[in-house]
Structure 1
Amino acid sequence: MSMPLKRTPPNSPMPSTADERDSHEKAKSLNLQQSTQRQNYDSAPDLPSLANIAERKERKHDGSTDEAISITSVLKEMFSTFSKDQDKRFNELQQTIGGIKEQNDALTNSVDLMSQKYDEFITRIAQLEAERKEDKKLIHILEEKIEYLEKKNRTSGIEIRNIPKATGETKQDLCKLVQKLGNTLKIDIKYSDVKDIYRINTKDGTNPIVAELTTVLLKENIIKEVKSFNKNKNKGEKLNTTHFNSHQPMKPVFVSETLTSKTQRLFHLAREFQKNYRYAFCWTSHGTIYLRKEEKAPAIKIASDIDLQDLRKGE
């Protein structure tokens, strides 16, 4: 590695006399002038280049400033556009939120109203349910009273079933049939003993005869004698249509007391129960239905469907 050149002359020894000092100063001054000239000579050719470089650097600096200003303007414009867009979106969002809030308030008010109406409905339904129970009790009481009055009105009536209806049949013809029944049972029945007589229209076309008699004693006597007449007789010898008209085909004739519609329905259910569970007897007395399991068994009173249901559970 080469050592750098030193352009400054080496220090000469200090002169000892005045003349020597003057000579030394002159030599030093001359060397300084030469050194300055050489520096100027060496640096002179580079001066134009340095000027050009300074000019170019200055031009670049001016261009960069314009470009920076332009970028700044673009950024400002972009930021301004972005800010306006954000403001617009923010306003739209505020309007949307406001609309949602209004809808929410309206929905809340509607829910509150519906809740209030629901509470009113619940209260009203509870009141109606309580009233319905009271009305049901009252209806049951009224039905029982009507049933009692109907039974009272029919205490003296009898019902004759399975006698065919004749063409052009009149009440006088029906009264004659009742008289024939009395003759068969050996009971004297007059026209004056029949208060009213008529047929009931039924779905099966049997059209039973209902005779309202003047006294309950006469009705009970007829029912008693029918049971005695049929007792211990064969099927063909029991009361039938030939006892009323010898020209008619033989069919069994049944005589019972007149029942209300409710009791008739219950009596039908009781007879079905008798067949299904093999009870020996099923009959009515004074408008009340009875069942008996065996001949010496106690009679069971049937007042409603519930009594039949209880008997089914016990079987």
Structure 2
Amino acid sequence: MTLRHSPPPAPLVPDAPAPHSTSTEANVTNVRDRSCTGMSLGVQHYDSAPDLRLMLDNATERKKRKFEDKDSSVSEIIKEMFSSFTQEQKLRFNQLQATINSLTEQNNALTHSVDMMSSKYDAFLAKISEMETQRKADQKLICLLEDKVEYLERKQKSTAIEIRNVPKKTDESKNDLCKLVQNIGNTISAEIDNCYLKDVYRLNSNKSSNSNLIIVEFTSTLVRNNLLEKLKTFNKDRIPGEKLNTRQLDWHGPCKPVYISEALTNKAQRLFYLARTFQKQNGYAFCWSSHGVVYLRKEEKSPHIKLNSESDIENLRKSI
């Protein structure tokens, strides 16, 4: 709706002062003239202005009815979105809950398995500890038994000697070996009768040698010790070529040195071999055995060193 207003009337300025009645009439006439002039120019005049608030209320009411439809459709869309989102979140929550339940069951199963393995591990540790304690006790018992066996073997061999490097005769008999022992006793001034001999035999060897070891067992340790003392005295002041040899024993053939020593146990033989090797490598002057025990000496006036086991040789090697 087009709103048009007439311009406000121009102020009336009188040209000259006049009487009151005259000026009033003149003003009325002037106003009428101006109204006519305005009419002639096409300007429309209204008796009263339109009610603008009523128009604005009508316009607002129409717009409100239009937005009510739009708001309802938007609300429905939002409700559907929230409903779909809620369903989706509920589905995901159910899936997560199922996954958590499955993981909880697996965790419980793993916990039970770990607890069971832990209990078994503790049982194994206890068993291993018990076995280790038993092993140490068995080791001590084995060492004790080995020492006892070594002592018994040493006592058994306390009356025996070993004769090396004596060639074997053809069809050699025990009588020939007995005569050989008696001949050795006569050579070194040690009287040996057959009554002093308990047994004489030559050990068999896989080596193709006719000078296998001869074992002589006496009836008494005193006879054996006397023979060894006489042998030591016989060889002490002689040069290597004149020490006890096969030529002095009436052996027909090349002259070979004859070695006589006390019989040793297997453990003592191993220890004696290691001691001699250590003696050569480290410049020790003496290495010998007495009553089944091996000894070392650095120099002639230095104290002797008793060797009970291979660890003693290792300790000597570390101390150098």
Matched, 1:143 2:146: yes
Letter in 2 for 1:190: N
Matched, 1:193 2:194: no
In the TM superposition, 1:27-176 aligns within 5 A as 65-164=68-167, 171=174, 174-176=177-179
Whether contact under 8 Å (1:291, 1:299) holds in the other structure is yes
- Measure how far apart 1:234 and its partner are: 1.4
- Measure how far apart 1:173 and its partner are: 5.2
Distance 1:257 1:72, change over 3 A: same
- Measure how far apart 1:263 and its partner are: 1.2
Q: 2:15: which partner in 1?
A: none
Distance 1:62 1:147, change over 3 A: same
2:319 and 2:206 map into 1 onto residues whose CA distance is 34
Distance 1:89 1:271, change over 3 A: same
Whether contact under 8 Å (1:157, 1:258) holds in the other structure is yes
- Measure how far apart 1:3 and its partner are: 7.9
> What number of residue pairs does the alignment pair up?
271
- Measure how far apart 1:95 and its partner are: 0.9
- Measure how far apart 1:120 and its partner are: 2.9
2:95 and 2:171 map into 1 onto residues whose CA distance is 94
Letter in 1 for 2:220: T
1:200 and 1:284 map into 2 onto residues whose CA distance is 24
2:148 and 2:175 map into 1 onto residues whose CA distance is 34
In the TM superposition, 1:172-183 aligns within 5 A as 174-183=177-186
Give deviations 1:127-180, integer Å, cap 9, x for gaps. 333322222222222111111111111111111123355677665554454344
Q: Which moved more, 1:277-286 or 1:227-236?
A: 277-286
In the TM superposition, 1:198-213 aligns within 5 A as 198-199=202-203, 201=205, 207-213=212-218
Q: 2:187: which partner in 1?
A: 184
In the TM superposition, 1:145-294 aligns within 5 A as 145-164=148-167, 171=174, 174-186=177-189, 187-190=191-194, 193-199=197-203, 201=205, 207-243=212-248, 246-294=251-299
- Measure how far apart 1:278 and its partner are: 3.2
Letter in 2 for 1:129: E
Whether contact under 8 Å (1:200, 1:209) holds in the other structure is no
Letter in 2 for 1:272: T
Runs (4+) of structure 1 exceeding 6 A deviation are 60-63, 202-206
